[in-house]
């Protein structure tokens, strides 16, 4: 079988050289060292000991090969589950999908975005919105181009701002949008875990494979947390997982974790129309319970990984470290 696993059109997602990012990061690291980034609207405080002692949040990017598979719903409901467990949650809305986080949560369209932070006239506190259950939302998308309109340097500066934000989050979830967009490339490098949402629809499965392949080949991503959405039952979820993991095992050197599944449920579509997440309106419904289970499985994975690796380094410090590692310096 073609290793592209029937990618649509021989590659609905083209594999190109995606690693300019590392070169940019390396240049940034050098400029930062030389003090060139310490002035202007992108000014960022230096890393200090106090910061490196701080609680480090669990971070995850939620992505998919194909659009419209439920990323935003999974992200928002996971956020609510964690908030209900008493955790402090930050949601970064890096997507401009059909249903944005603000729409799904029924909060007013954000007036400002991180663009305003990057331009230097607002702080993250001023741009962030409070959502239900004490969730903090960072509207990162602005205009049709969204975050992808930002330069690498601006994105890195954004991460730096977040890293220095005077708010201790336990969990940071980034809704990245679908496919191999700039956002996906950037955030998957900056977070601890990558969640791929997939449905039993064959095009969703092949696109998920194509996405993982690109992230593996070009970005050294080697672990993916799979959530199968809109399933009839657990068997259907397991079938999708088996199909994907068989091809991945054969052609890619990656680990696919089956994190869980979410049933097809009219309550979810209703919740979008009502702009009120199902985990709030129907906490005992099967679909809300599936989000609760997901939140527990993910937390387990985060914790196990931390135990293996010790302290995780967050965002740009890790990016810069990766960039240095790649350059062999």
Ligand X SMILES: Nc1ncnc2c1ncn2[C@@H]1O[C@H](COP(=O)(O)OP(=O)(O)OP(=O)(O)O)[C@@H](O)[C@H]1O
| Contact between 57 and Mg ion per CB under 5 A | no
* Dist CA 165 CA 51 (whole Å): 10
Determine the angle formed by the axes of helices 315-327 and 152-164, rounding to 10 degrees.
130
Which candidate, 23, 14, 319, places its Cα nearest to that of 187? Answer: 319
Stretch binding ligand X (CB under 6 A), from 7-15, 64-72, 137-145, 201-209: 64-72
Which is closer to ligand X, CB of 4 or CB of 95? 95
- 262 contact choice in Mg ion, ligand X, none (CB below 5 to 8 Å, kind-dependent): ligand X
| Contact between 268 and ligand X per CB under 6 A | yes
Using CA atoms in the order 77, 83, 84, 86, what is the torsion angle rounded to 10 degrees?
Answer: 160
* Dist CA 194 CA 87 (whole Å): 20
Assess contact for 101 and 74: CB atoms under 8 A: no
Stretch binding Mg ion (CB under 5 A), from 80-88, 90-98, 209-217, 235-243: 90-98
In the list 21, 59, 63, 72, the residue contacting Mg ion (rule: CB under 5 A) is 72
| Contact between 173 and ligand X per CB under 6 A | no
Structure tokens at 248: 């991945």
Which candidate, 317, 272, 288, places its Cα nearest to that of 159? Answer: 317
In the list 29, 141, 157, 178, the residue contacting ligand X (rule: CB under 6 A) is 178
Give the Cβ contact number of residue 54 at 10 Å. 12
- 280 contact choice in ligand X, Mg ion, none (CB below 5 to 8 Å, kind-dependent): none
Structure tokens at 24: 């940019």
* Dist CA 61 CA 193 (whole Å): 6
Which is closer to Mg ion, CB of 71 or CB of 219? 71
| Contact between 274 and ligand X per CB under 6 A | no
Which is closer to ligand X, CB of 72 or CB of 279? 72
| Contact between 72 and ligand X per CB under 6 A | yes
Cα 66 → chain centroid: 15
Q: Which residues inside 77-116 make contact with ligand X, applying CB under 6 A?
A: 95, 97-99
Q: Which residues bind Mg ion (CB under 5 A)?
A: 71-72, 95, 97
Q: Which residues bind ligand X (CB under 6 A)?
A: 64, 67-73, 95, 97-99, 177-178, 229-230, 262, 264-265, 268-269, 272
């Amino acid at each position: 079988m073609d290793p592209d696993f029937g990618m649509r059109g021989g590659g609905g997602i083209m594999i190109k050289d995606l690693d300019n990012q590392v070169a940019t990061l390396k240049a940034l690291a050098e400029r930062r060292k030389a003090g060139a980034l310490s002035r202007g609207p992108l000014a960022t405080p230096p890393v200090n000991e106090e910061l490196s002692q701080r609680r480090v949040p669990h971070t995850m990017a939620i992505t998919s090969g194909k659009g419209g598979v439920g990323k935003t719903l999974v992200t928002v409901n996971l956020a609510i589950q964690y908030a209900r467990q008493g955790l402090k949650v930050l949601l970064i809305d890096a997507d401009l999908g059909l249903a944005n986080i603000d729409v799904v949560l029924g909060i007013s369209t954000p007036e400002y975005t991180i663009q305003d932070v990057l331009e230097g006239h607002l702080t993250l506190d001023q741009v962030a919105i409070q959502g239900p259950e004490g969730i903090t939302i960072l509207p990162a998308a602005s205009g049709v181009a969204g975050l992808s309109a930002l330069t690498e340097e601006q994105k890195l500066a954004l991460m730096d701002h977040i890293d220095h934000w005077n708010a201790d989050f336990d969990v940071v979830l980034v809704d990245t949008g679908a496919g191999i967009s700039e956002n996906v490339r950037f955030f998957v490098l900056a977070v601890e875990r990558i969640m791929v949402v997939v449905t039993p629809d064959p095009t969703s499965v092949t696109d998920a494979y194509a996405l993982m392949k690109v992230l593996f080949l070009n970005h050294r991503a080697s672990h993916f947390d799979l959530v199968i959405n809109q399933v009839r039952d657990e068997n259907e979820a397991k079938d999708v997982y088996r199909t994907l993991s068989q091809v991945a095992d054969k052609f890619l050197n990656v680990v696919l974790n089956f994190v869980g599944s979410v049933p097809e449920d009219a309550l979810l579509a209703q919740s979008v129309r009502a702009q009120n997440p199902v985990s709030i309106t129907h906490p005992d419904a099967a679909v809300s319970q599936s989000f609760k289970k997901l939140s527990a499985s993910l937390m387990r994975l985060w914790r196990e990984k931390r135990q293996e690796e010790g302290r995780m380094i967050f965002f740009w410090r890790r990016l810069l470290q990766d960039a240095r590692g790649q350059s062999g310096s």
